[in-house]
Amino acid sequence: MIQRLLAMALLASVQILLAFVLYHSAFEAYRRMFGSVRRDISYGLQLNHSLYIFGALALGNAAWLLSCRSRRSGLIGFGICLLFWTAFWANAFASMPYRSLLVVGVGTLVLTMPLLVLLLRFRGPGLVDDVRPGSAA
């Protein structure tokens, strides 16, 4: 039980850290290539509040994926987290489409990361061992 909770906390922390690093790296690269960006206080406030929401979604996504019983259940959990994340940013697409697309894209990329855990957990029977003809099994 404790190990599962620690795994969920670690996976959620890695997701949050990865999202933070990817967003700031992409933003800095854009700023260096194209110059300064428009400063909008409402966008900055929404970005700050999104850190809390993304943290909750990352924790929920990690908990759902590490405790699900099937691939379908994991995909449903991921879809729900992705829907909430996209809906949170829906209002910003009209005023700042590129920055909103960047944030939603980074969030989507990071939220899909635990799907790799899900795919590794539910491998098909033919994918477990790599047995080549002529080799001893």
Query: Which tens digits make up the pLDDT trace of 50-101?
Result: 889 999 999 998 888 888 777 788 788 888 999 999 999 988 888 888 888 8
Helix pair angle (41-67, 2-34), 10° resolution: 150
What's the predicted TM-score (pTM) here? Answer: 0.74
| pLDDT score at 133 | 58
| pLDDT score at 128 | 47
Domain ranges of the chain: 7-34+44-121
Give the whole-angstrom CA distance, residue 19 versus residue 14. 8
Give the whole-angstrom CA distance, residue 119 versus residue 102. 26
Helix pair angle (41-67, 97-121), 10° resolution: 10
